[in-house]
Chain A
Amino acid sequence: MPVATINDRVVNVDDEGFLTDYDDWDEDLAKVLASQIGIELTEDHWNAIHFLRRDYKQTGETATLRRVTTVGGIPTKELFTLFPKKPAKKMAYIAGLPKPRGCV
């Protein structure tokens, strides 16, 4: 499923619905993605999302949970509160990035 719509915008996604083109993303789209998985974005959410976006641009990979904590400076516990149950995947989804590839 390469091309689909989110809120009437045409974007590229994979079979699960993760965006596949870095440049399709903007903050308005992030709000829609977040609401689709039951998350209302606060300042703390944005902090994590923006770190993920920046880090992906630099490294070409989606940051793992550990990296968001050690490099992004956001405690793991807080990530589980902000993005309950599956923080790494939920963050990646809202940030318009692929799921993290690393194990830790």
Chain B
Amino acid sequence: MSTDVTPAPVPNFEETGSERTMVFICSKGTLDMAYPGLILANAALGEGIAVHLFFTFWGLDMITKKRMDSLRFTPLGNTATHMPQGLGGLPGMTSVATTMIKRQIASVGVPEVPDMLEQIVASGGHLWACRMSTDMMHLGKGDLYDGVEDILNASDFIEMTEGAQVLFI
């Protein structure tokens, strides 16, 4: 063995992340806007970070049993699809676009929204529903995905997540 070979470093798995809490406020109910929060929350959990997701307004669709399997995507008003804007309003276009984007998401090995939620809960993430939104939409805890821990009002949620890093999506 040559003398200049040194012992290998050991990755520091313990120190980063252990004191960190991240909060993702999910406020959108379209398929494309459901994913950013779920992907980031899942990644944060994998880094040993405590994670809370708060579902509010249209984001409630992500955790409503009747709707969570059928979130949709529309190219309307979304210039990033690089389609003529008029096409987005044609009958049936939302279904076509939803099928296409679902296929693209699946092609990179990313699961559907309910499966993402299941993985987040299995990884120790916490799911909360917004009180005002559930009241507005006449939903009770029984209407929500089983992994949702509770329905909270905004101030309880703010209190509970003191010191956390917050992402509003």
Contact = CB atoms under 8 A, between A and B. Distances in A.
B9 A66 contact: no
Interface in B133-161: none
Given A5-B6, A18-B11, A80-B123, 18 more contacts: A1-B6, A5-B8, A10-B5, A65-B123, A66-B109, A67-B109, A84-B48, A85-B18, A85-B47, A85-B48, A86-B46, A87-B46, A89-B13, A89-B46, A90-B13, A103-B42, A104-B39, A104-B42
Interface of B, secondary structure class, is loop
B9 A1 contact: yes
Contacts of A4: 5-9
Given A4-B7, A10-B5, A37 B13 contact: yes
Given A80-B124, A85-B48, A86-B46, A104 B111 contact: yes
Interface in A1-35: 1, 3-6, 8, 10-11, 13, 15-18
Interface in B98-118: 108-111, 116
A36 B124 CA distance: 25
Contacts, number: 87
Q: Is the interface of A mostly helix, strand, loop or mixed?
A: mixed
29 contacts: A1-B9, A4-B5, A4-B6, A5-B5, A10-B1, A11-B8, A13-B9, A15-B9, A17-B8, A17-B9, A17-B10, A17-B11, A65-B119, A66-B109, A76-B119, A76-B123, A77-B122, A80-B122, A85-B18, A86-B47, A86-B48, A88-B46, A90-B13, A93-B13, A102-B109, A103-B39, A104-B109, A104-B116, A104-B119
A5 B1 contact: yes
